[in-house]
Amino acid sequence: MKALQYTAFGEEPTVVDIPRPSPGPGQVLLRVTAAGVCHSDLHIMASPPEEYRYGPLPLTLGHEAAGVVVSSGPGADRFPADTPVLVYGPWGCGICRSCARGEENYCTDPAGVHPPGISVAGAMAEYMLVDAERHLVPLRDLDPVQAVALTDAGLTSYHAINGSRHRLGAGTYALVIGAGGLGHIAIQILRALGASTVIAADVSEEKLRLAREVGAHHCVIANEAAADEIGRLTAGAGVDAIFDFVGTERTVGLAGSVAATHGDIVIVGVGNGALPVGYRRQPFETSVRSTFWGSRSDLWEVVDLARAGLIRVAVETHPLLDAPTAYKRLAEGKVFGRAVIVP
């Protein structure tokens, strides 16, 4: 079968021929119907060898997956052949206290979380193995190409926002920094979960056009004047819930400078920025946290929001042979919403 692999440090990902896997005990083999292209893949491929902490090379990329069941290994019988599914990506041990809560993203097993496309072979291939049936969510009537980004861009955004639900509601302001794959979905989730006013900030006017289309009330260019403009938009009160999908020094700084008293700052982007926390470093009662992906129940919930018509993912599609181009376009900031590979 064809697969897109990161083969050697510093190399571009390439399409290669590898054997089609077969499911072992408890595993499910999927024919991949859609695989999302995430900015985190660019971070993986930019990681210098001494800091690289992902799966051994060559690594088949793709941690956002939709597919149909082909066959199941011994002991797996809940999903008949041809069932369309989405894949929950942060595979944990399934047994520890975090996994018992469905938070496999925070699995405490020594082996840790081992997601497809990050630690083991992923979805950028004609077929993929899923390690356990509990990592499948029925797709039912949803279109796989439209829905595949729900498994990370949607799930991660939903988990981050769900944890700040007490800061949403009448009269509140929410800010999304970075209106890309995650951010454009986050705007829609914020609208669905009851933020009164949603502000989007991005360095690109065109990304802000998409932000407005999907429901942002105000759009702000993320430059030196952004903090003042956001201050004016909130009549000086500041922003109640801030979601940073970039996470650089500059964007976490912006988040800190516009937070309201009692505000929530959630750092999702892998930009390595640091925000000082301490007496008077942030507005009083402000909380700062970072999040990784989401829980199994979060995935069911964000899929429900999509099924209810509350989330529309903007997608551009590429065939598998063209996947390297999709990554180039993402790196150049040319993708609006999510690039999706259709093998």
Residue 226 touches which member of Zn ion, ligand NAD, none, C-beta under 5-8 Å by kind: none
User: Restricting to residues 268-287, which ones interact with ligand NAD according to CB under 6 A?
Assistant: 268-271
Residue 180 touches which member of ligand NAD, Zn ion, none, C-beta under 5-8 Å by kind: ligand NAD
Contact with ligand NAD (CB under 6 A) among 14, 204, 257, 287:
204
Build a one-symbol-per-residue string for 286-315: x at contacts with ligand NAD by CB under 6 A, - elsewhere: -----xxx----------------------
Kindly state the smallest distance separating residue 38's Cβ from ligand NAD, in Å: 5
Parallel, antiparallel or unpaired: strands 59-60 and 64-72: unpaired
Contact with ligand NAD (CB under 6 A) among 84, 181, 215, 238:
181
Nearest CB to ligand NAD, comparing residues 137 and 335: 335
Contact with ligand NAD (CB under 6 A) among 64, 103, 133, 152:
152
Binding residue count for ligand NAD, defined by CB under 6 A: 35
Let me know the angle formed at the C-alpha of 339 by 338 and 343, rounded to the nearest 5 degrees.
Answer: 135
Amino acid at 285: E
Residues in touch with Zn ion (CB under 5 A): 38, 40, 92-93, 96, 99, 107, 109, 152
Nearest CB to Zn ion, comparing residues 18 and 93: 93
Kindly state the smallest distance separating residue 206's Cβ from ligand NAD, in Å: 9
Coil vs helix vs strand at 287: strand
Q: Among candidates 77, 142, 168, which has minimal Cα distance to 299?
A: 142
Contacts of residue 112, defined as CB under 8 A and 6 or more positions apart, other chains included, come to 92
Coil vs helix vs strand at 130: strand
Residue 212 touches which member of ligand NAD, Zn ion, none, C-beta under 5-8 Å by kind: none
- CA torsion 129-133-136-141 (nearest 10°) is 110
Contacts of residue 330, defined as CB under 8 A and 6 or more positions apart, other chains included, come to 37, 39, 42, 339
Give the interface segment with ligand NAD, choosing from 1-9, 71-79, 171-179, 187-195 (CB under 6 A). Answer: 171-179
Cβ 161 vs Cβ 193: under 8 Å: yes
Parallel, antiparallel or unpaired: strands 28-37 and 127-130: antiparallel
Q: Among candidates 66, 119, 70, which has minimal Cα distance to 90?
A: 119
Beta bridge partners, 221, equal 202
Pairwise CA distance, residues 200 & 273, whole Å: 19
Kindly state the smallest distance separating residue 254's Cβ from ligand NAD, in Å: 7
Residue 99 touches which member of ligand NAD, Zn ion, none, C-beta under 5-8 Å by kind: Zn ion
Parallel, antiparallel or unpaired: strands 259-267 and 287-290: parallel
Pairwise CA distance, residues 177 & 199, whole Å: 9
Residue 250 touches which member of Zn ion, ligand NAD, none, C-beta under 5-8 Å by kind: ligand NAD
Nearest CB to ligand NAD, comparing residues 28 and 135: 135
Coil vs helix vs strand at 283: coil
Q: Among candidates 44, 53, 32, 33, which has minimal Cα distance to 129?
A: 32
Nearest CB to ligand NAD, comparing residues 121 and 266: 266
Build a one-symbol-per-residue string for 225-264: x at contacts with ligand NAD by CB under 6 A, - elsewhere: --------------------xxxx-xx-------------
Kindly state the smallest distance separating residue 41's Cβ from Zn ion, in Å: 7
Nearest CB to ligand NAD, comparing residues 112 and 138: 112
Q: Is 188 in the site for ligand NAD (CB under 6 A)?
A: no
The helix (run of H) or strand (run of E) holding residue 255 is: helix 249-258
Cβ 160 vs Cβ 268: under 8 Å: yes
Residues within the interface to ligand NAD (CB under 6 A): 38-40, 43, 152, 156, 177-183, 201-204, 207, 222, 245-248, 250-251, 268-271, 291-293, 330, 333, 335
